[in-house]
Amino acid sequence: MYNILFPGIIFCFLIGAVFSILFNRNDRLANHISLLSASIASILGIIFSLSVVFGDSFSLSISGSSYLKFGFFVDRLSAFFILIISIAVFAVSIYSIGYIREYYGKKNIGYLGFLYNIFILSMILVVSANNAIMFLIVWELMSVVSYFLVIFEHEKAETRKAGFIYILMTHIGTGFILLSFLIMAGASGSYSFESFSAYGSTMPPFLKDITFLFTLIGFGTKAGIVPLHIWLPYAHPAAPGNVSALMSGVMIKTAIYMMIRVFFGFLGGGVIWWGFLVLAIGVISALLGIMYAVIESDIKRMLAFSSIENIGIILIGLGASLIFYASGNPGLSALAAIAAFYHLLNHSVFKGLLFMGAGSIIYSTHTKNIEQLGGLIKKMPVVSVLFLIGVLSISALPPFSGFVSEWLTLQALLMSFGSSDSFTRIVLPVSAAALALTGALAAFCFLKTFGMGFLALPRSEHAEHAKDPNMPMLLGMGIFALLSILLGILPVYVLPFIGMIASTFTGASVIDQPFSYGVFGTITLPANRIYLSTPVLFSIILILILITTGLYLGSRRKNKLYETWGCGQPVSTARNEYTATAFSKPVQIWFRNIYRPIRELHAAYTVSPLIKESFKFELKIEQTFERYLYSPMVDLILRISRQIKMIQTGSIHAYLSYIFGTLVILMMFIILGGS
Amino acid sequence: MEEVIFGSNIMQLLIALILVSTFMILGSTRLYSCVRAFGIQSFLLACVAGVVGFSTGKYDLYIIALLTLLLKAAVIPYIFIYIIREIKVKREIALYVGISPSLITGGILVVISYYLIRSINAITGLSSFALSASMSLVSIGLFVMISRKKAIMQMLGILIMENGLFLGAISLTNGMPLLVEIGVFFDVLIGVLIMGILIFRINKTFETIDTDKLKTLIG
């Protein structure tokens, strides 16, 4: 059956793309056509991927030429990613039906629908390509189309800047990917992924290391690992809300897909330091990502930084998996990989939810700044509840989804105590500590976001007139919120499925399966006799909440209503409120060596220097990497370019002379070489 | 067969005359005489096409010869003269490289071209004589574009290069298919018209067609 399904998915997206362009005179029609076909395609995608996971792998060949065999190959690993993409696309498409209304009459909706469909199609093709050339084509398509989506609101200068940084970084990444593919193609004599996986592991160790590093840099740029992340906090906020949800939730995951494919599939696991490197990058990304998220007051930028953090967590799992794999412990390797995969799935769900929530806030308040929000829980009750679910999930609080995957990652790291290698025994628990710190900071960050954004009094006109957005938007978010809860409470039904996928590349057999599943949805890690029963946990939390509420209601205290933060003052306004910046100040002080803030104090004097008219205090926190790593690099390139520019004189005659000189030199070359 | 055609004295004479006309362009300081030399060159080229047509019996080469005569020896020179008259440009051509160095460079280029063609082993025999002349025309045309300041001379330079290519094509293939040739003629004509319009626009905007002044387009 899935011989028809896969072309069907492609066909649906193409229909959506073409028809939304054709009907771009009619905004409503174009929007509905593009989103309807995208949702149909995503439903097909869900069916298709599930049938691949539970059935056989799927392959489809387009060209029969012996030199370049273009085609698709979908095994369980690819199917898992198609599933993630499809779920996200389904929810986001429903959400977009409402969200795009904001652009009616202002922007070309048909064009947006076209890009949207092609973007999703390219992501699906990226995870199902079976040939390096084919892969590069669709990868490039994905990058370019997402670039156009990022600069969709190109009338803003900052959006254009974001787009530029994005396309620059993504092409640097593609350069490295190309190099690594060329190395593997050189070793295997063909560009097909099949031969990569056949010959990749037989390459000499030196070449393998180089390939590993290039792949890590190339795909790491797309995934947003520190220090290659600089495009992410620019590009994700600049794109329209629904697109940011897809970019952050899904697109950066395609890079993780290829990392797994290359590290495990093509290079065959490799040596142990690969794992340590990936783990280190994961830890650094997670910590720095969340640190910058904490101090950010632009809600979408904050979410973008948090994506860096979550990619870091996924990479921690992946790194641990590589370490265990290289040290010959496939069971633990599978456990770590399962943790990474589960977090990947969860992140695409809750980050999609949060980005859509941020989109809803912007939709009704027209501001991204948390400092200008406040009191939204009364104005937008439904969005608030849904956003809260996302916040609780990403903060890894039980019984929501983020908790399960981070718990698994921690368990996998802590199980290294049994390892025979002492270095592993030291490094992995330390990483676990860093992961715990990350979790705490994430909770802090999202507490700030929710507290400042949704509680207290409205801080601006914008927030005061906010109201819940339209039905499709709420529905789209609702799907993700429900999934977040389900993934949190019932992982016992999802984990075997992910275990099957992980076993395809970690090689852990059924006996090595790290889990056993008991009653009450209990997950047991037999090695350490650790049990986790999320439904029981959920019930306990529910009962606690009920008891507290009951006690609260039962006490029948007489409540007197005062203004919030009144402090006995007669007047209480939004100006008296605690601000987001103030809330995150402690973190900023603890980690000031990392933030390296720039403080400037300007004082304006009157006649006498003793009497000051006004003070202006400025505090800037720049990206450390931009300042210390990228700026010097950019300066160097500019200096070289200025040298090279000398040959650009502006005179036609000079340019012609260059041609003439080259011609004469070539002629002499032939004459001297020929005689 | 080729050797018979191009070995014939008349062909050698024609090709030598074409080179002479090229040196006339290099050696003159006035626009009109440059255009006249170009007309002569095109006329000689038409003769070459005619002679090749006569000796190979390919009669479509007569059509090409006729078209060359009409377009390159009449219409294009007329367009040149029209432009020169309309924009009231000074009749002298401004130079970067003086007349005598230009002539010497031209001579060197001919020698280089001759050796170049000789050293390509694939082409032997006497058709290499025509081919080296064609190579000289291309390189001298480029040199004209570099060494003359007025935009008209750049236009003329590119036409000399085109003539060189025409000579090369005819000497290698004994006449390309008619359709291709007509296409090329059409290209040249349109090219000349567009360049003519551009020169008018340049003159209107900058009040000069001295390309020496157009140097501000740099990054």
Residue of A645, A650, A659 with shortest CB distance to B216: A650
Write out chain A residues lying below 8 Å of B109, CB-based. Answer: 664
Percent of chain B with pLDDT over 90: 27
For B166-201, the pLDDT digits (tens) are: 888 888 777 778 888 888 888 888 888 888 888 888
Residue B76 is assigned to a structural domain of this protein: yes
How many whole angstroms separate alpha carbon A437 and alpha carbon A232? 22
**pLDDT for res A515:** 63
Write out chain B residues lying below 8 Å of A675, CB-based. Answer: 115, 119
**B120–A650 CB contact, under 8 Å:** no
**pLDDT for res A528:** 59
Residue of B96, B146, B215 with shortest CB distance to A649: B215
**pLDDT for res A279:** 94
pTM: 0.78
Best mutation site among B93, B96, B115 for testing chain A: the one with the most A CBs within 10 Å? Answer: B115
**B145–A645 CB contact, under 8 Å:** no
Cα dist. A644→A637, A647, A661 in Å?
Answer: 11, 6, 18
**pLDDT for res A510:** 45
DSSP conformation class of A155? T
**pLDDT for res A640:** 92
Q: Which two tokens stand for residue B161?
A: 């290069």
Write the CB contacts of A20 (distance below 8 Å, at least 6 apart in sequence): A30, A31, A33, A34, A109, A110, A112, A113, A114, A117
**pLDDT for res A3:** 75
Residue of B113, B115, B146 with shortest CB distance to A653: B146
**B217–A650 CB contact, under 8 Å:** yes
- Judge whether B97 is closer than 8 Å to chain A, CB to CB: no
Residue A654 is assigned to a structural domain of this protein: yes
**A645–B219 CB contact, under 8 Å:** yes
Q: Is B17 exposed, middle or buried (0-12, 13-18, 19+ CB in 10 A)?
A: middle
Write out chain A residues lying below 8 Å of B119, CB-based. Answer: 670-671, 673-675
How many whole angstroms separate alpha carbon A675 and alpha carbon A668? 11
Q: Which two tokens stand for residue B110?
A: 């001919």
**pLDDT for res B11:** 83
Q: Which two tokens stand for residue B6?
A: 């191009």
Residue A77 is assigned to a structural domain of this protein: no
Q: Which of A254, A372, A348, A248 is nearest to A300 (CA)?
A: A248
Residue type, B66: L
Residue of B116, B216, B219 with shortest CB distance to A671: B116
Percent of chain B with pLDDT over 70: 93
Q: Which two tokens stand for residue A168?
A: 């620059």
CA nearest to B108 within chain A: A664
Best mutation site among B97, B116, B117 for testing chain A: the one with the most A CBs within 10 Å? Answer: B116
Q: Which of B181, B111, B131 is nearest to B15 (CA)?
A: B131
**A645–B142 CB contact, under 8 Å:** no
Residue B141 is assigned to a structural domain of this protein: yes
Residue A670 is assigned to a structural domain of this protein: yes
CA nearest to B95 within chain A: A653
Residue A69, SS3? coil
Q: Which two tokens stand for residue A261?
A: 């494919």
Burial A348-364 (b: 16+ CB within 10 A, else e): bbbbbbbbbbbbbbbbb
Write out chain B residues lying below 8 Å of A638, CB-based. Answer: none
CA nearest to A652 within chain B: B211
- Report residue A4 CA to chain centroid gap: 31
How many whole angstroms separate alpha carbon B28 and alpha carbon A30? 66
Cα dist. A191→A75, A216, A241, A268, B102 in Å?
Answer: 18, 19, 37, 18, 54
Q: Measure in Å the smallest separation between the Cα of B115 and chain A Cα atoms.
A: 6
**pLDDT for res A357:** 92
Pick out chain A residues at pLDDT < 70.
1-2, 63-68, 507-522, 524-530, 556-576, 674-675
Q: Measure in Å the smallest separation between the Cα of A638 and chain B Cα atoms.
A: 13
Residue of B115, B154, B218 with shortest CB distance to A650: B218
**B218–A664 CB contact, under 8 Å:** no
ipTM passes above 0.85: no
**pLDDT for res A529:** 63
Window B:171-190, CB contacts with A under 8 Å? none
Residue A668 is assigned to a structural domain of this protein: yes
Residue B79 is assigned to a structural domain of this protein: yes
**A670–B214 CB contact, under 8 Å:** no
Best mutation site among A638, A644, A656 for testing chain B: the one with the most B CBs within 10 Å? Answer: A656
Window B:130-149, CB contacts with A under 8 Å? 139, 142-143, 145-147, 149
**pLDDT for res A442:** 93
Cis peptide before A227 (omega within 30 of 0): yes
**How many C-beta atoms surround the C-beta of residue A544 within 10 A?**
10
- Judge whether B120 is closer than 8 Å to chain A, CB to CB: yes
Residue of B115, B142, B149 with shortest CB distance to A659: B142
Task: Return the half-sphere exposure (C-beta side, CA atoms, 13 A cut-off) of residue A22.
Answer: 8
Write out chain B residues lying below 8 Å of A671, CB-based. Answer: 112, 115-116, 119
Instruction: Cite the DSSP H helix spans in A511-651.
Output: 534-555, 580-590, 592-595, 624-625, 631-644
How many whole angstroms separate alpha carbon B184 and alpha carbon B177? 11
**B139–A663 CB contact, under 8 Å:** yes
**pLDDT for res A511:** 45
Residue A311 is assigned to a structural domain of this protein: no
Residue A335 is assigned to a structural domain of this protein: no
How many whole angstroms separate alpha carbon B143 and alpha carbon A664? 11
**A650–B215 CB contact, under 8 Å:** yes
β-strands A530-533, A522-525: how paired? antiparallel
**A674–B121 CB contact, under 8 Å:** yes
The domain tally of chain B equals: 1
Cis peptide before A535 (omega within 30 of 0): no
What is the residue range of A646's domain? 626-674
Residue B198 is assigned to a structural domain of this protein: yes
Write out chain A residues lying below 8 Å of B121, CB-based. Answer: 674
Q: Measure in Å the smallest separation between the Cα of B31 and chain A Cα atoms.
A: 19
**B218–A649 CB contact, under 8 Å:** yes
Sheet with A530-533, strands from edge to edge, namely: A516-517, A522-525, A530-533
Residue A543 is assigned to a structural domain of this protein: no
**A670–B120 CB contact, under 8 Å:** yes
CA nearest to B218 within chain A: A650
Write out chain B residues lying below 8 Å of A659, CB-based. Answer: 142
What is the residue range of B150's domain? 2-213
Residue B218 is assigned to a structural domain of this protein: no
Q: Note whether A133 and A182 are within 8 A (CB).
A: no
Residue B219 is assigned to a structural domain of this protein: no
Residue A26 is assigned to a structural domain of this protein: no
The domain tally of chain A equals: 1
**A671–B154 CB contact, under 8 Å:** no
CA nearest to B139 within chain A: A660
- Judge whether B206 is closer than 8 Å to chain A, CB to CB: no
How many whole angstroms separate alpha carbon A351 and alpha carbon A333? 26
- Judge whether B95 is closer than 8 Å to chain A, CB to CB: no
Write the CB contacts of A388 (distance below 8 Å, at least 6 apart in sequence): A450, A454
Task: Return the half-sphere exposure (C-beta side, CA atoms, 13 A cut-off) of residue A359.
Answer: 32
- Judge whether B41 is closer than 8 Å to chain A, CB to CB: no
CA nearest to B213 within chain A: A651
Best mutation site among A641, A653, A655 for testing chain B: the one with the most B CBs within 10 Å? Answer: A653
**B218–A645 CB contact, under 8 Å:** yes
Write out chain B residues lying below 8 Å of A656, CB-based. Answer: 142, 145-146
Dihedral sign, CA of A223, A229, A230, A235?
A: positive
Average pLDDT over residues B84-106: 84
* Mean pLDDT (chain B, rounded): 84
